[in-house]
Amino acid sequence: MGAQVEHPSLRQPVTLIVDDPNPGYNPAYFHSGFRNGPMFVPRTLVDEFADLVEACGIRGKFSVIPNPFGLGRIDQDLQGVSRADLHYFLDVVRSRIAPYLDITPEVLTHWNALDLATGQLLPYWEHVWSRSQDRTTLEPYLTLALQILENVDLPCAGMTSPWDFGDGVEIEYAEALLAAQRALYGNTFTWYFLQMDATSPQVAPHRTVFRPESHEAVVGIVACDAFDFGYAVWHGGAPAPDLLISADGASGRLVEVLNAGGPAAFHTHWQTLFSQGTRSGLHALRAVADRLADHYGERIVWTRCADLARYAAAAASVDLAPLSETPEQLVFQITAPFPCPGFTLSLDLPHAVRTVRVAAAPLSHASDPSSLREGFYLQNEGRLTLCWALQDSQHLVIDLQE
């Protein structure tokens, strides 16, 4: 019947990825050889970012570095940062950011690799170290990163790569992450952020590990921008929101990807939002969010990375098998190894529909595409579109009008 997976509620997902946050330090200072900008970020920045998230309805991912630059575990003490400031940052992340954005480690130090046996920093970068590892050595490293955030009441269902951590050994990295998630939380589904693609018209998540028969998957979220739109502020320049979306909505990388019909994940950094104290990057991010709202409105939906990843796994594995067909009724068996809220599927069905039920629960009728949401169906231009909480082994029953 021409079944086709649609975007959730017929809206294109948009996801913000924020890299490098940590309690107290300015990553630009460290990553530029201790030259650019002040060493510290005032604790008020986390509140200002939370204000923006709440005001604009932003969803996505927010990193927390577990052992920033090897200066201490955030579940213990962080050199140079008072306990009051450390706890303040973590409290705001828990109460004001985690309800809207996924929290992940940015592996462990975002600096030199840590020797787990001695607790000492090794003489090479963390991401360089990763390239010569396999799943057996990566798993305890990732597990420690997850455990530190768990210890401060920030459970994490995914992982962020510092720089290109895991590049070249991506399968090993993904399998190690899956093993760490299973050991800590019993999860058989997880996701990570590593790759960027600034040229493809559509940039979808990719399934690095995909074993639907055992309900196992590791999905890579891919950013559609290769460079942070505010990279120049790390060196005293100005952010460039037009790189993502111009004021008139006519150009920019997000415009390219959204107009091509895809989801759009884009990234920025804690040091960009700080902008050497000017907050110009934070203000530019507000401009991007406002422009998206002005020019795309209900066509888009802000989405967490975990939800985008789960949707990709569900879309690739859902099966709709016909069980019976009469002039009055169509019955299907739904098989779905990966449950997914707000799953949206359309069918070629020119016949008028009387009722739609999934797992014996009736769906409500949506009068137009803008009112479609979970628990509703829409019949429009010869297609029936359903939006429901996808679970494994459900019956779909479509009663037709006589």
Q: pLDDT tens digit string along 157-213?
A: 999 999 999 999 999 999 999 999 999 999 999 999 999 999 999 999 999 999 999
Parse the chain into domains and list their residue ranges: 11-311, 318-400
Question: Which pLDDT belongs to residue 36?
Answer: 81
Question: What stretches of 318-365 show up as alpha helix (H) in DSSP?
Answer: none
How are the residues of the chain apportioned to helix, strand and coil, as percentages rounded to the nearest 5? 35, 30, 35
Question: Which pLDDT belongs to residue 236?
Answer: 87
Quick one: fold of 318-400? Immunoglobulin-like (2.60.40)
Average pLDDT, the chain: 97
What are the residues facing 105 on neighbouring strands? 64
Which of the four pLDDT bands, split at 50, 70 and 90, describes residue 37?
confident
Phi/psi at 217 (5° precision): -160, 145
Q: Domain 11-311 sits in which CATH superfamily?
A: Glycoside hydrolase/deacetylase (3.20.20.370)
**Measured CA distances, 250 to 16, 245, 299, 377 (Å):** 20, 7, 16, 33
- pTM score, two decimals? 0.96
- Percentage of the chain beyond pLDDT 70 is 100
Q: How far apart are CA 140 and CA 163, in angstroms?
A: 20
